[in-house]
Structure 1
Protein backbone atom coordinates (compact mmCIF):
# COMPACT_ATOMS: atom_id res chain seq x y z
CA UNK A 1 0.00 0.00 0.00
CA UNK A 2 2.88 2.35 0.80
CA UNK A 3 4.23 1.74 -2.72
CA UNK A 4 0.94 2.86 -4.25
CA UNK A 5 0.98 6.06 -2.18
CA UNK A 6 4.53 6.82 -3.29
CA UNK A 7 3.58 6.04 -6.88
CA UNK A 8 0.66 8.52 -6.76
CA UNK A 9 2.83 11.21 -5.17
CA UNK A 10 5.41 10.75 -7.94
CA UNK A 11 2.69 10.90 -10.58
CA UNK A 12 1.43 14.23 -9.18
CA UNK A 13 5.01 15.58 -9.17
CA UNK A 14 5.62 14.41 -12.77
CA UNK A 15 2.40 15.98 -14.05
CA UNK A 16 3.07 19.18 -12.08
CA UNK A 17 6.55 19.45 -13.60
CA UNK A 18 5.06 19.22 -17.12
CA UNK A 19 2.37 21.75 -16.29
CA UNK A 20 4.77 24.24 -14.64
CA UNK A 21 7.02 24.00 -17.71
CA UNK A 22 4.09 24.62 -20.03
CA UNK A 23 2.11 27.28 -18.14
CA UNK A 24 4.43 28.69 -15.46
CA UNK A 25 3.88 28.73 -11.71
CA UNK A 26 1.35 31.56 -11.74
CA UNK A 27 -0.97 30.08 -14.40
CA UNK A 28 -0.77 26.44 -13.36
CA UNK A 29 -3.85 25.14 -11.55
CA UNK A 30 -4.10 22.27 -9.09
CA UNK A 31 -7.23 21.13 -10.97
CA UNK A 32 -5.25 20.58 -14.17
CA UNK A 33 -2.48 18.75 -12.32
CA UNK A 34 -4.87 16.35 -10.56
CA UNK A 35 -6.84 15.74 -13.77
CA UNK A 36 -3.64 14.80 -15.63
CA UNK A 37 -2.47 12.68 -12.68
CA UNK A 38 -5.88 10.92 -12.69
CA UNK A 39 -6.59 11.66 -9.05
CA UNK A 40 -8.77 14.03 -7.01
CA UNK A 41 -8.17 17.37 -5.33
CA UNK A 42 -8.85 15.72 -1.97
CA UNK A 43 -6.15 13.16 -2.71
CA UNK A 44 -3.74 15.91 -3.81
CA UNK A 45 -3.97 17.50 -0.34
CA UNK A 46 -2.92 14.22 1.27
CA UNK A 47 0.49 14.74 -0.32
CA UNK A 48 0.92 18.52 -0.61
CA UNK A 49 -0.34 21.49 1.42
CA UNK A 50 -0.68 23.78 -1.61
CA UNK A 51 0.54 24.54 -5.13
CA UNK A 52 3.43 26.43 -3.52
CA UNK A 53 4.38 23.36 -1.46
CA UNK A 54 4.33 21.21 -4.62
CA UNK A 55 6.42 23.74 -6.55
CA UNK A 56 8.93 23.92 -3.73
CA UNK A 57 9.17 20.11 -3.66
CA UNK A 58 10.18 20.21 -7.32
CA UNK A 59 12.62 23.14 -7.41
CA UNK A 60 14.01 23.56 -3.87
CA UNK A 61 16.52 20.64 -3.91
CA UNK A 62 18.21 21.79 -7.13
CA UNK A 63 17.98 25.48 -6.16
CA UNK A 64 19.68 24.73 -2.82
CA UNK A 65 22.46 22.75 -4.54
CA UNK A 66 23.13 25.62 -6.94
CA UNK A 67 23.16 28.21 -4.14
CA UNK A 68 25.69 26.06 -2.24
CA UNK A 69 28.01 26.20 -5.25
CA UNK A 70 27.39 29.95 -5.66
CA UNK A 71 28.51 30.43 -2.05
CA UNK A 72 31.58 28.24 -2.64
CA UNK A 73 32.59 30.42 -5.60
CA UNK A 74 32.49 33.47 -3.33
CA UNK A 75 34.71 31.74 -0.76
CA UNK A 76 37.51 31.15 -3.29
CA UNK A 77 40.64 33.11 -2.40
CA UNK A 78 41.91 35.40 -5.14
CA UNK A 79 45.31 33.94 -6.12
CA UNK A 80 47.02 31.93 -8.87
CA UNK A 81 44.98 28.79 -8.05
CA UNK A 82 41.67 30.66 -8.39
CA UNK A 83 41.11 29.84 -12.11
CA UNK A 84 41.62 26.12 -11.51
CA UNK A 85 39.15 26.12 -8.59
CA UNK A 86 36.62 28.16 -10.60
CA UNK A 87 36.75 25.64 -13.45
CA UNK A 88 36.35 22.71 -11.09
CA UNK A 89 33.31 24.34 -9.41
CA UNK A 90 31.91 25.27 -12.82
CA UNK A 91 32.14 21.61 -13.87
CA UNK A 92 30.01 20.67 -10.85
CA UNK A 93 27.45 23.36 -11.75
CA UNK A 94 27.24 22.06 -15.35
CA UNK A 95 26.62 18.55 -13.96
CA UNK A 96 23.67 19.93 -11.96
CA UNK A 97 22.32 21.49 -15.17
CA UNK A 98 22.68 18.14 -16.99
CA UNK A 99 21.05 16.06 -14.24
CA UNK A 100 18.20 18.45 -13.38
CA UNK A 101 17.37 20.00 -16.74
CA UNK A 102 13.57 20.00 -16.23
CA UNK A 103 13.65 21.37 -12.70
CA UNK A 104 16.07 24.13 -13.72
CA UNK A 105 14.00 24.91 -16.82
CA UNK A 106 11.02 25.42 -14.49
CA UNK A 107 13.10 27.49 -12.07
CA UNK A 108 14.54 29.80 -14.75
CA UNK A 109 11.52 30.04 -17.06
CA UNK A 110 8.42 29.48 -14.95
CA UNK A 111 8.93 30.87 -11.43
CA UNK A 112 7.03 34.17 -11.77
CA UNK A 113 4.61 34.52 -8.85
CA UNK A 114 6.57 32.09 -6.66
CA UNK A 115 9.15 32.83 -3.98
CA UNK A 116 11.82 31.84 -6.53
CA UNK A 117 10.96 34.50 -9.09
CA UNK A 118 14.21 36.40 -8.38
CA UNK A 119 16.44 33.37 -8.99
CA UNK A 120 17.45 34.57 -12.48
CA UNK A 121 18.62 37.86 -10.97
CA UNK A 122 20.64 35.96 -8.34
CA UNK A 123 22.36 33.87 -11.03
CA UNK A 124 23.05 36.92 -13.22
CA UNK A 125 24.66 38.73 -10.26
CA UNK A 126 26.64 35.61 -9.36
CA UNK A 127 28.01 35.15 -12.91
CA UNK A 128 28.77 38.88 -13.24
CA UNK A 129 30.70 38.86 -9.98
CA UNK A 130 32.57 35.60 -10.73
CA UNK A 131 33.64 36.72 -14.22
CA UNK A 132 34.62 40.18 -12.94
CA UNK A 133 36.78 38.72 -10.14
CA UNK A 134 38.47 36.35 -12.58
CA UNK A 135 39.24 39.07 -15.15
CA UNK A 136 40.36 41.52 -12.44
CA UNK A 137 42.90 38.97 -11.25
CA UNK A 138 44.21 38.41 -14.80
CA UNK A 139 44.47 42.19 -15.41
CA UNK A 140 46.23 42.76 -12.08
CA UNK A 141 49.22 40.83 -13.51
CA UNK A 142 49.61 43.73 -15.96
CA UNK A 143 48.98 46.37 -13.27
CA UNK A 144 45.51 47.10 -14.64
CA UNK A 145 42.01 47.05 -13.16
CA UNK A 146 38.50 47.03 -14.58
CA UNK A 147 37.14 50.57 -14.73
CA UNK A 148 33.58 49.52 -15.58
CA UNK A 149 32.15 45.98 -15.69
CA UNK A 150 28.86 46.96 -17.39
CA UNK A 151 29.64 44.85 -20.47
CA UNK A 152 30.08 41.81 -18.18
CA UNK A 153 26.65 42.51 -16.63
CA UNK A 154 25.06 42.63 -20.10
CA UNK A 155 26.76 39.41 -21.18
CA UNK A 156 25.78 37.65 -17.93
CA UNK A 157 22.14 38.67 -18.39
CA UNK A 158 22.10 37.22 -21.91
CA UNK A 159 24.06 34.14 -20.84
CA UNK A 160 21.45 33.25 -18.16
CA UNK A 161 18.58 33.94 -20.59
CA UNK A 162 20.20 31.66 -23.17
CA UNK A 163 20.74 28.88 -20.61
CA UNK A 164 17.04 29.13 -19.70
CA UNK A 165 16.15 28.59 -23.39
CA UNK A 166 18.60 25.68 -23.75
CA UNK A 167 17.14 23.91 -20.69
CA UNK A 168 13.59 24.39 -21.95
CA UNK A 169 14.23 23.33 -25.55
CA UNK A 170 16.90 20.63 -25.41
CA UNK A 171 16.51 17.13 -23.97
CA UNK A 172 19.88 15.46 -24.55
CA UNK A 173 22.36 15.82 -21.64
CA UNK A 174 25.39 15.88 -23.93
CA UNK A 175 23.82 18.57 -26.07
CA UNK A 176 22.96 20.68 -22.99
CA UNK A 177 26.57 20.42 -21.77
CA UNK A 178 28.00 21.34 -25.19
CA UNK A 179 25.67 24.30 -25.63
CA UNK A 180 26.49 25.69 -22.16
CA UNK A 181 30.24 25.30 -22.84
CA UNK A 182 29.84 26.94 -26.26
CA UNK A 183 27.87 29.83 -24.75
CA UNK A 184 30.58 30.37 -22.11
CA UNK A 185 33.18 30.62 -24.88
CA UNK A 186 30.99 32.88 -27.07
CA UNK A 187 30.14 35.28 -24.24
CA UNK A 188 33.37 35.41 -22.26
CA UNK A 189 36.09 33.82 -24.42
CA UNK A 190 37.59 36.97 -25.86
CA UNK A 191 36.21 39.98 -24.00
CA UNK A 192 39.04 40.83 -21.63
CA UNK A 193 40.59 43.05 -24.30
CA UNK A 194 37.30 44.88 -24.79
CA UNK A 195 36.83 45.85 -21.14
CA UNK A 196 37.26 49.43 -19.99
CA UNK A 197 40.39 49.30 -17.84
CA UNK A 198 42.69 51.66 -15.92
CA UNK A 199 46.30 51.53 -14.77
CA UNK A 200 46.92 50.75 -11.09
Structure 2
Protein backbone atom coordinates (compact mmCIF):
# COMPACT_ATOMS: atom_id res chain seq x y z
CA UNK A 1 0.00 0.00 0.00
CA UNK A 2 1.21 3.51 -0.86
CA UNK A 3 0.31 4.74 2.64
CA UNK A 4 2.65 2.20 4.22
CA UNK A 5 5.45 3.12 1.82
CA UNK A 6 5.02 6.82 2.62
CA UNK A 7 5.15 6.06 6.34
CA UNK A 8 8.32 3.99 5.98
CA UNK A 9 9.99 6.71 3.92
CA UNK A 10 8.97 9.34 6.46
CA UNK A 11 10.37 7.21 9.30
CA UNK A 12 13.68 6.74 7.43
CA UNK A 13 14.03 10.49 6.89
CA UNK A 14 13.19 11.28 10.52
CA UNK A 15 15.84 8.86 11.77
CA UNK A 16 18.31 10.09 9.17
CA UNK A 17 17.93 13.65 10.47
CA UNK A 18 18.70 12.43 13.99
CA UNK A 19 21.72 10.42 12.79
CA UNK A 20 23.14 13.26 10.68
CA UNK A 21 22.59 15.71 13.50
CA UNK A 22 24.35 13.45 15.98
CA UNK A 23 27.26 12.19 13.86
CA UNK A 24 27.44 14.38 10.77
CA UNK A 25 27.30 13.19 7.18
CA UNK A 26 30.76 11.62 7.15
CA UNK A 27 30.26 9.38 10.21
CA UNK A 28 26.54 8.71 9.87
CA UNK A 29 25.63 5.04 9.53
CA UNK A 30 22.89 3.80 7.21
CA UNK A 31 22.80 0.68 9.39
CA UNK A 32 21.94 2.78 12.45
CA UNK A 33 19.30 4.69 10.51
CA UNK A 34 17.72 1.42 9.38
CA UNK A 35 17.77 -0.02 12.89
CA UNK A 36 16.18 3.06 14.45
CA UNK A 37 13.59 3.30 11.66
CA UNK A 38 12.59 -0.32 12.25
CA UNK A 39 13.57 -1.46 8.77
CA UNK A 40 16.52 -3.06 6.97
CA UNK A 41 19.48 -1.52 5.18
CA UNK A 42 18.29 -3.22 2.00
CA UNK A 43 14.89 -1.62 2.37
CA UNK A 44 16.43 1.84 2.80
CA UNK A 45 18.20 1.38 -0.54
CA UNK A 46 14.83 0.76 -2.16
CA UNK A 47 13.95 4.35 -1.26
CA UNK A 48 17.38 5.99 -1.52
CA UNK A 49 20.20 4.75 -3.74
CA UNK A 50 22.95 5.91 -1.37
CA UNK A 51 23.72 7.78 1.84
CA UNK A 52 24.42 10.80 -0.35
CA UNK A 53 20.92 10.67 -1.86
CA UNK A 54 19.42 10.27 1.62
CA UNK A 55 21.38 13.31 2.82
CA UNK A 56 20.19 15.24 -0.23
CA UNK A 57 16.57 14.44 0.64
CA UNK A 58 17.12 15.82 4.16
CA UNK A 59 19.26 18.87 3.36
CA UNK A 60 18.91 19.65 -0.33
CA UNK A 61 15.52 21.38 -0.37
CA UNK A 62 16.49 23.68 2.52
CA UNK A 63 19.83 24.59 0.94
CA UNK A 64 18.24 25.33 -2.42
CA UNK A 65 15.48 27.37 -0.78
CA UNK A 66 18.09 29.60 0.87
CA UNK A 67 20.06 29.84 -2.37
CA UNK A 68 16.90 30.76 -4.31
CA UNK A 69 16.34 33.75 -2.03
CA UNK A 70 20.01 34.67 -2.28
CA UNK A 71 19.87 34.60 -6.08
CA UNK A 72 16.94 37.02 -6.03
CA UNK A 73 19.19 39.74 -4.64
CA UNK A 74 21.60 39.33 -7.55
CA UNK A 75 18.85 40.76 -9.75
CA UNK A 76 18.26 43.82 -7.59
CA UNK A 77 19.35 47.15 -9.01
CA UNK A 78 21.37 49.04 -6.43
CA UNK A 79 19.60 52.22 -5.38
CA UNK A 80 18.25 53.75 -2.20
CA UNK A 81 15.76 50.85 -1.89
CA UNK A 82 18.34 48.07 -2.11
CA UNK A 83 18.84 47.85 1.65
CA UNK A 84 15.07 47.49 2.20
CA UNK A 85 14.94 44.69 -0.36
CA UNK A 86 17.88 42.99 1.37
CA UNK A 87 16.03 43.01 4.69
CA UNK A 88 12.88 41.70 3.02
CA UNK A 89 14.89 38.77 1.68
CA UNK A 90 16.50 38.33 5.07
CA UNK A 91 13.04 38.02 6.62
CA UNK A 92 12.20 35.23 4.16
CA UNK A 93 15.42 33.45 5.10
CA UNK A 94 14.49 33.87 8.78
CA UNK A 95 11.25 32.02 8.02
CA UNK A 96 13.36 29.11 6.76
CA UNK A 97 15.24 29.22 10.07
CA UNK A 98 11.91 29.05 11.88
CA UNK A 99 10.71 26.01 9.92
CA UNK A 100 13.96 24.10 9.36
CA UNK A 101 16.30 24.94 12.23
CA UNK A 102 17.61 21.39 12.63
CA UNK A 103 18.21 20.83 8.90
CA UNK A 104 20.06 24.17 8.69
CA UNK A 105 22.12 23.26 11.73
CA UNK A 106 23.13 20.00 10.05
CA UNK A 107 23.90 21.88 6.82
CA UNK A 108 26.19 24.39 8.55
CA UNK A 109 27.75 22.14 11.17
CA UNK A 110 27.68 18.54 9.94
CA UNK A 111 28.20 18.57 6.16
CA UNK A 112 31.85 17.52 6.02
CA UNK A 113 32.34 14.90 3.33
CA UNK A 114 29.17 15.85 1.47
CA UNK A 115 28.73 18.09 -1.56
CA UNK A 116 27.55 20.81 0.84
CA UNK A 117 30.72 20.90 2.94
CA UNK A 118 31.69 24.32 1.52
CA UNK A 119 28.28 25.90 2.02
CA UNK A 120 29.58 28.26 4.71
CA UNK A 121 32.05 29.73 2.23
CA UNK A 122 29.20 30.22 -0.25
CA UNK A 123 27.13 32.11 2.33
CA UNK A 124 30.10 34.18 3.57
CA UNK A 125 31.01 35.18 0.02
CA UNK A 126 27.41 36.17 -0.70
CA UNK A 127 27.05 38.34 2.39
CA UNK A 128 30.44 39.95 1.76
CA UNK A 129 29.53 40.75 -1.83
CA UNK A 130 26.08 42.13 -1.07
CA UNK A 131 27.19 44.30 1.85
CA UNK A 132 30.17 45.53 -0.18
CA UNK A 133 27.95 46.47 -3.12
CA UNK A 134 25.49 48.32 -0.89
CA UNK A 135 28.32 50.18 0.85
CA UNK A 136 29.94 51.02 -2.49
CA UNK A 137 26.66 52.50 -3.66
CA UNK A 138 26.32 54.57 -0.48
CA UNK A 139 29.89 55.85 -0.80
CA UNK A 140 29.49 56.63 -4.51
CA UNK A 141 26.85 59.19 -3.53
CA UNK A 142 29.62 60.97 -1.61
CA UNK A 143 32.17 60.61 -4.45
CA UNK A 144 34.03 57.98 -2.50
CA UNK A 145 34.84 54.30 -2.87
CA UNK A 146 35.89 51.50 -0.54
CA UNK A 147 39.64 51.13 -0.17
CA UNK A 148 39.45 47.62 1.30
CA UNK A 149 36.42 45.45 2.12
CA UNK A 150 38.34 42.98 4.32
CA UNK A 151 36.45 44.10 7.43
CA UNK A 152 33.18 43.26 5.65
CA UNK A 153 34.53 39.78 4.95
CA UNK A 154 35.49 39.36 8.63
CA UNK A 155 32.04 40.48 9.76
CA UNK A 156 30.36 38.14 7.27
CA UNK A 157 32.56 35.24 8.38
CA UNK A 158 31.77 35.93 12.03
CA UNK A 159 28.04 36.14 11.29
CA UNK A 160 27.87 32.80 9.46
CA UNK A 161 29.97 31.03 12.10
CA UNK A 162 27.82 32.56 14.85
CA UNK A 163 24.61 31.44 13.11
CA UNK A 164 26.03 27.90 12.91
CA UNK A 165 26.66 27.92 16.67
CA UNK A 166 23.22 29.36 17.43
CA UNK A 167 21.46 26.71 15.34
CA UNK A 168 23.52 24.00 17.02
CA UNK A 169 22.99 25.18 20.59
CA UNK A 170 19.49 26.71 20.60
CA UNK A 171 16.26 24.93 19.69
CA UNK A 172 13.53 27.52 20.29
CA UNK A 173 12.81 29.27 16.99
CA UNK A 174 12.02 32.63 18.60
CA UNK A 175 15.36 32.55 20.47
CA UNK A 176 17.22 31.65 17.26
CA UNK A 177 15.49 34.47 15.37
CA UNK A 178 16.23 37.08 18.05
CA UNK A 179 19.88 36.07 18.40
CA UNK A 180 20.48 36.17 14.65
CA UNK A 181 18.78 39.54 14.21
CA UNK A 182 20.71 40.92 17.20
CA UNK A 183 23.97 39.70 15.66
CA UNK A 184 23.18 41.28 12.28
CA UNK A 185 22.51 44.56 14.05
CA UNK A 186 25.68 44.20 16.14
CA UNK A 187 27.94 43.32 13.22
CA UNK A 188 26.60 45.54 10.47
CA UNK A 189 25.04 48.59 12.10
CA UNK A 190 27.00 51.68 11.03
CA UNK A 191 29.44 49.49 9.10
CA UNK A 192 29.93 52.37 6.66
CA UNK A 193 31.68 54.39 9.36
CA UNK A 194 34.13 51.54 9.96
CA UNK A 195 35.34 51.31 6.37
CA UNK A 196 38.44 52.85 4.87
CA UNK A 197 37.64 54.75 1.71
CA UNK A 198 39.25 56.98 -0.87
CA UNK A 199 37.96 59.99 -2.74
CA UNK A 200 36.90 59.46 -6.34
CA UNK A 201 38.72 61.82 -8.68
CA UNK A 202 36.26 63.38 -11.10
CA UNK A 203 37.36 64.55 -14.48
CA UNK A 204 36.59 68.26 -14.99
CA UNK A 205 33.77 68.94 -17.39
* Rounded Cα–Cα distance in structure 2 between residues aligned with 1:141 and 1:86: 19
Q: Following superposition of structure 1 onto structure 2, how do residues 1-200 of structure 1 map, counting pairs within 5 Å?
A: 1-200=1-200
Q: Once structures 1 and 2 are overlaid, which stretch shifts more, 152-161 or 130-139? A: 130-139
* Rounded Cα–Cα distance in structure 1 between residues aligned with 2:164 and 2:186: 16
Cα deviation 1:42-89 (Å, max 9, x = unaligned): 111111111000000011111111111111111110112211211111
* Rounded Cα–Cα distance in structure 2 between residues aligned with 1:63 and 1:88: 19
TM-score calculated relative to the size of structure 2: 0.94
* Rounded Cα–Cα distance in structure 1 between residues aligned with 2:90 and 2:143: 27
Cα deviation 1:83-110 (Å, max 9, x = unaligned): 1211111111111121111111111111
* Rounded Cα–Cα distance in structure 2 between residues aligned with 1:97 and 1:136: 29
* Rounded Cα–Cα distance in structure 2 between residues aligned with 1:199 and 1:168: 44
Rg (Cα) greater in structure: 2
Aligned length: 200
Deviation of 1:191 after TM superposition, in Å, equals 2.4
Deviation of 1:21 after TM superposition, in Å, equals 1.0
* Rounded Cα–Cα distance in structure 1 between residues aligned with 2:86 and 2:156: 16
Cα deviation 1:126-184 (Å, max 9, x = unaligned): 01011111111222222221110001111111110111111112111111111110010
Q: Which runs of 5+ in 1 are unaligned?
A: none
* Rounded Cα–Cα distance in structure 2 between residues aligned with 1:22 and 1:156: 27
CA RMSD of aligned residues (A): 1.1
* Rounded Cα–Cα distance in structure 2 between residues aligned with 1:97 and 1:74: 21
**Aligned-partner SS, 2:147:** strand
